[in-house]
Amino acid sequence: MPSWVIIVVVIAALAFDFTNGWNDAANSIATVVSTRVLSPLAAVSLAAVLNVIGAFASEAVAKTIGSNIVEPTQVNQLVVLAALLAGISWNVAMTMLGLPISASHALIGGLVGAAVAKGGWAIVKPGGFGTVLLAMLLSPLLGALFGFLVMKLINGVLRNVAPAAVTNWFKRLQLVSVAFVSFSHGSGDAQKVMGIITLALFAGGYIPSIHVPFWVVISCALAMGAGTMIGGWGVIKTIGMKMLRLQPVHGFAAETAAAALLQTAAHIGVPVSSTHTITGSIIGVGLAKRAGSVRWGVANKILYAWVLTLPGCMFGAWAFYKLLSAVLG
């Protein structure tokens, strides 16, 4: 494989990280912008900084992506590049449509699709891929459950407090919860691209084992922070305004529930979707109000995008790998 291919892979990986932050900015700031606790510029600035800081928190997810989804010794740099190109294409298309999707599942689906194109299903590790599929199912459900319970707890504790006082308190508390969810997003999502770059370096013989180099951590953290700073405003409107009408107390409940789940997943090394988790939490908060408060038509469109992400990126990466291998050999 020509030596310049690894440079292209790293650039593509950082571009993916940028589009990840672009789509996923909504996960961090949709609620705090929709409740007018922070201005859009202040919100994306806070989220970008904490995304970068969160990326340094752990390497557990990066190692999972790098070694537990496909067999590292059977992967070459074209597999990684094809996975990234499929993921970038999907992230950009969905962000332009204003739909929140799981960049994690775009990347993992791409990795699996490209690996299958190279050597069949034998390269895919059933245990690791099965964990991803299970997390894909459970993360929105757990997010909804936690969001519902946190909202119910808050309602019970504050049932005799004047609504105006509740709003004033939670305007301040939401600053804490949005910071927590932004940090948690960085500690999970930036690691996925760290893992994919590490896998490419290992496949090319540039590093002896699946261990994330420090320059990879810094590069991925900054790329995701830059994407978050741009902000996918269509996605932000979909999550924070179109799906459910939010007040500061609702934003706090959803963010706290989602961040707790994301932090847990990041530290045990399970690559869950921050998009699925925060969207599920918002729906759970809405259900704690009443089922009719959730705009289910919008929620259904989001669900369709979620369901199509994994197979769509698998097929896209399969096609990209076949094209790249035909051109580059």
pLDDT tens digit string along 303-324? 888 889 999 999 999 999 999 9
Average pLDDT across the chain, whole number: 84
CA pair distance 206, 301, nearest whole angstrom: 43
The predicted structure's pLDDT at residue 328: 82
Where are the extended beta strands (E) located within the chain?
none
Q: For position 83, what pLDDT does the model report?
A: 94
**What are the DSSP calls for 25-93, one per residue?**
HHHHHHHHHHTTSS-HHHHHHHHHHHHHHHTTS-SHHHHHHHHTSB-GGG--HHHHHHHHHHHHHHHHH
Whole-model pTM over 0.75: yes
pLDDT tens digits, 243-295: 777 788 888 898 889 888 887 877 776 667 777 888 889 899 888 887 777 88
Q: Are 56 and 222 in contact (CB under 8 A)?
A: no
Higher-pLDDT residue of 189 and 128 is 128
Please answer whether residues 147 and 120 qualify as being in contact, where contact means their C-beta atoms are separated by less than 8 angstroms: no
Would the pLDDT of 92 be above 90? yes
Q: How many CB atoms lie within 10 A of CB 152?
A: 15
Q: How far apart are CA 196 and CA 183, in angstroms?
A: 21
Give the span between the Cα atoms of 10 and 177, in whole angstroms. 33
DSSP annotation of 224 = H
Longest dimension (CA), the chain: 70
The 10 Å Cβ neighbour count of residue 139 is 28
SS3 state at 124: strand
Res. 62: pLDDT tops 80: no
Distance CA 78, CA 9 (A): 8
Q: Evaluate if residue 61 carries a pLDDT over 70.
A: no
Q: Kindly indicate the confidence band of residue 93, based on its pLDDT and cuts at 50, 70 and 90.
A: very high
Percent of the chain residues topping a pLDDT of 70: 92
Q: pLDDT (tens digit, 9 = 90+) per residue, 107-142? A: 889 999 999 999 999 899 888 888 878 877 888 899
